[in-house]
Structure 1
Amino acid sequence: MEFCRKNSKLQVMKLLLLVVVLVGLISFEGVECRKKGKKKVKVLDEYIEYSAMSCRAHVASLTDFGGVGDGITSNTNAFKAAIEHLGQFSYDGGSQLFVPPGQWLTGSFNLTSHFTLFLHKDAVLLASQEESEWPVIAPLPSYGRGRDAAGGRYISLIFGTNLTDVIVTGDNATIDGQGALWWQKFKKGKLKYTRPYLIEIMYSDQVQISNLTFLNSPSWNVHPVYSSNVIIKGVTILAPIVPISPNTDGINPDSCTNVLIEDCYIVSGDDCVAVKSGWDEYGISFAMPTQHLVIRRLTCISPDSAVIALGSEMSGGIQDVRAEDILAINSESGIRIKTAVGRGGFVKDIFVRRMTMKTMKWAFWMTGNYGSHADNKYDPNALPVIQGISYTDMVADNVTMAARLEGIDGDPFTGICISNVTIGMARKAKKVPWTCTNISGITTGVSPKPCDSLPEQEVTSCPYPTDSLAIENVEQKLCSFRANYK
């Protein structure tokens, strides 16, 4: 009887030990070996979580489609094959393409709907230096031509059109445009077509671009155009400023509705955020404004341009832009409105508050004399409407000139309100801190004293909307998946 008890206990202990071993094997997150012929290949198994507006039911790795992350082998066909395959799951829970650690050289590729491109934190997308890997596409209809050249334009590195529910994200992974070759060709006038962007999403709805670092873009970095319900967050954009990288704007929402840009850090060879809506007669005809835009918690360095620019291509109109909690460092101007006779369109209901500026040429700049027309077909009677511009609760130091505000003769900029703004002038500041022509508005609690066109009035502060836009309330879900990669 005693023997039976001991034997039973021994069997139970063996069973418990077996269970522990099996559980350990199932939950193992480390290195295992799979035989590949006679050679053993290390395969890593990693559990990854991230936030996104949609999670996906189907996941595949770029290596499943022949991807090689050696920084030398072209992965253009691997990306195309992977996304074509995953596109079949658009209406079956959606799909996700995982890019493992490595340096993944690639030309342009197109995204699909209900799809996530997820880059591992140690993954780097390297843009191909071969022009043959960059197809040429038609100019944007609201521009009528390319911006660098009169013809078409090279497609962007990551491109999508007519999509619904598309996400490009990662754990601060890197997308490197290797743009030096493009900058040199542009400066030497050797480009037949407009340079590519790093990401362009067209005619799409429900777009998220997040938690990525963009480097060395050939031109603009992130360009949502003709799209709605766009979230761009947690993005770092770095462009060389010495020597200058021309037109390397950070984020350019263009003829878009309901856009949220938040928690971004941008070092730019041009504007950090440039709000646009088409160029001259083409933008007027296309008639698609950028509206309902929120920009918040942005840090920007832009020595040769603006932290936030409105225009110059604004012919379809810009309305209801809300910017707050902005830090500008060593930049040419804090807020800049750029337009001209022939642009038409409007810039109105612009609200900016809680902005800190350090070492600036101008704190505020508005100009109605920004030329650069698409062609000579623009309508000289197409005058822009600039009205309802509110700046409040700002501080700046080491500023060369407080403001340069220049409306258009016979078409003044109106409804300007500036309140609770203190600007500390640089030691070699301009003798006249404000210049104002063809503008009107009011100020309260502003130093140094503004020009006579902006008289002091007893108002508490300039207006800022109290409601929230729908894009601010989009729920972020916690998504997760197991990443198996060699």
Structure 2
Amino acid sequence: MSTPRVLCLTSRTAAILLPADGAYFALAAPLAWTLEDAGGGLVMSGTTDIVALFLDDLTPDSRYILRTPIGEVEFLTRPCAGLIDARDFGVSPEHPNNAAMLAQAIAAVPTGGTLRITAGRYLSGPVFLKPEMTLLLDSGAELAAISDRADWPQLPAHDETGRVIGTWEGLPERSFAALLTAIDCHGLALTGCGIIDGGGDRGDWWDWPKETREGARRPRTVQIAHSSGVSLSGLNIRNSPSWTVHPYRCRDVTVACIRIDNPPDSPNTDGLNPESCTDVAITGVDFSVGDDCIAIKAGKRGPGDNTHLAPSRNIAITHCRMQRGHGAVVLGSEMSGDIRDITVAHCTFDSTDRGLRLKTRRGRGGMIADVRCHDIVMTDVPTPFAANAFYHCDPDGHAPWVQSRAPRPVDATTPEIKGIELRDVTAHRVSLAAIALLGLPEAPITDVSIRNFAVSFDPAAQPGLPLMADGMEPVRHADLIAINAEVDGQATRIAEPEADVPC
């Protein structure tokens, strides 16, 4: 059993991990806790049934001790250079668009200060944040995007220095600004028990998922670019027009104790998409979305200049719950800048189409490598582990040069997948294939290690396609599909509720 540890601190909130034995996203049994001040006085107490505990209404620059049956942790909240109440600048639930007033309030926040949004539902167009500030949404506060995109700000593909600002599926493209847009916002914190509603269910955002209108692509709900030392904690972020939270070219990002919730039929509403980011920690996040829950990206190779490509590295995903969605944790398919050193641990995947999913295709180039997935429980996931180098994305995805099973010359556009480890994984009621790997004949998937992978199959399952690639045959209850892939290890079939029996 590990002791509690701090995940994220702001001046008025704290996210704490309570890693009791048997804990994934939920605890095996509820855990009581008390919070004391430095003098030993009781501040608050409660019981939690999930592993990541979020505390709010704390005092800046103050020492606290959290006590639990599994141990205690002491922490010091961050100082606050000044608290700004958005209402003092005219922000009101009665106003049809609070964007201008919020901009004035943000401008008034001192470096190291906090902008507070109190209880109420506030409609707004896109808001641009600034460095070294905290945006705090109180319990009962909701920042909700307006439905009308007339005069909605747009982000250019590149700024005046040539840096990529607006993106779409791995390429520089003009896009509508996010409800919360942060560029060069080092030291930014978004926190609180409130709601950020991207307004995807209002207006027509979901009616044109792959189109360009008014010269721009659909917005995210939270977009953070070229920033470091960024944290998101406590919030409920929902109804995104497209990808929900999109850190781009960021370093040192912490996401803890938040919920991301989009309708199951909403198009391309991935939950969290770190793209070309380094040193990212995602802990205790609850996902229920219309596309991939977490999709790690690294840019897409395009014609001509590919200086926008950069790797995603050192990303840890722990104690999260992924529900619905096309994939639980997905790498690619925009991965031309490399995706490396990824850890997924102590998570539950419930009713996602696939569990751990790697996807790429000829023309991408780049590498997926050093991926570790362990201590995972999956339920009703048709294909728990899928790696596909023939993913038929983009307009030319079904072209013969992409889908041909004959070897092609290896060059800079040939993607590579290697160094994947699955350990201590249990998958209940699998319908299609426990493991489905399809590598390129000219660049096979290599160094795949499977250890202690236990599987049961859904007796009511119907045949289906485990991978989105041309020429695949429907399957049902397949143990292992490995084409142009080297696999070391084996799975165990569970005859539930009886003991394990070998495949």
1:76–1:106 CA contact under 8 A, matched in 2: yes
Report the equivalent of 2:113.
95
Report the equivalent of 1:441.
487
Question: Which of the numbers 119, 127, 130 marks the counterpart of 2:145?
Answer: 127
Report the equivalent of 2:415.
384
Question: Which of the numbers 400, 406, 412 marks the counterpart of 2:438?
Answer: 406
Indicate how the Cα distance of structure 1 residues 344 and 52 shifts in structure 2: closer, same or farther if over 3 A, else same: farther
User: Could you tell me which amino acid in structure 1 is paired with residue 157 of structure 2?
Assistant: P
Larger radius of gyration: 1
Secondary structure of the equivalent of 1:254?
coil
Report the equivalent of 1:419.
451
Question: Which of the numbers 293, 310, 313 marks the counterpart of 2:331?
Answer: 310
- Aligned equivalents of 2:350, 2:486: Cα separation in 1: 28
- Aligned equivalents of 2:367, 2:210: Cα separation in 1: 35
Secondary structure of the equivalent of 2:320?
strand
Indicate how the Cα distance of structure 1 residues 69 and 220 shifts in structure 2: closer, same or farther if over 3 A, else same: same
- Aligned equivalents of 2:77, 2:312: Cα separation in 1: 22
How many residues were matched structurally?
A: 393
Indicate how the Cα distance of structure 1 residues 284 and 420 shifts in structure 2: closer, same or farther if over 3 A, else same: farther
Report the equivalent of 1:248.
269
Indicate how the Cα distance of structure 1 residues 215 and 52 shifts in structure 2: closer, same or farther if over 3 A, else same: farther
Report the equivalent of 2:19.
none
Question: Structure 2 matches for 1:148-159, cutoff 5 A?
Answer: 152-159=174-181
Question: Which of the numbers 167, 178, 188 marks the counterpart of 1:166?
Answer: 188
- Aligned equivalents of 2:327, 2:58: Cα separation in 1: 37
**Structure number having the greater helix percentage:** 1
Indicate how the Cα distance of structure 1 residues 48 and 133 shifts in structure 2: closer, same or farther if over 3 A, else same: farther
- Aligned equivalents of 2:490, 2:229: Cα separation in 1: 40
Indicate how the Cα distance of structure 1 residues 179 and 357 shifts in structure 2: closer, same or farther if over 3 A, else same: same
Indicate how the Cα distance of structure 1 residues 144 and 162 shifts in structure 2: closer, same or farther if over 3 A, else same: closer
User: Could you tell me which amino acid in structure 2 is paired with residue 123 of structure 1?
Assistant: A
Identity %: 28
- Aligned equivalents of 1:144, 1:112: Cα separation in 2: 18
Query: What are the superposed Cα offsets for residues 258-303 of structure 1, whole Å, 9 maximum, x if unpaired?
Result: 0000001000100100000101237953341110111001101124
- Aligned equivalents of 2:182, 2:77: Cα separation in 1: 18
Report the equivalent of 2:468.
none
Question: Which of the numbers 264, 268, 278 marks the counterpart of 2:285?
Answer: 264
Indicate how the Cα distance of structure 1 residues 264 and 77 shifts in structure 2: closer, same or farther if over 3 A, else same: same
Indicate how the Cα distance of structure 1 residues 161 and 307 shifts in structure 2: closer, same or farther if over 3 A, else same: same
Indicate how the Cα distance of structure 1 residues 445 and 336 shifts in structure 2: closer, same or farther if over 3 A, else same: closer
Indicate how the Cα distance of structure 1 residues 49 and 222 shifts in structure 2: closer, same or farther if over 3 A, else same: farther
1:148–1:193 CA contact under 8 A, matched in 2: no
Report the equivalent of 1:281.
302
Shift of 1:395: 0.6
Shift of 1:69: 1.9
Question: Structure 2 matches for 1:191-340, cutoff 5 A?
Answer: 191=213, 192-241=215-264, 244-281=265-302, 285-303=307-325, 305-340=326-361
Larger relative contact order (CA 8 Å, sep ≥ 6): 1
1:156–1:196 CA contact under 8 A, matched in 2: yes
TM-score (structure 1 length as normaliser): 0.75
Secondary structure of the equivalent of 2:104?
helix
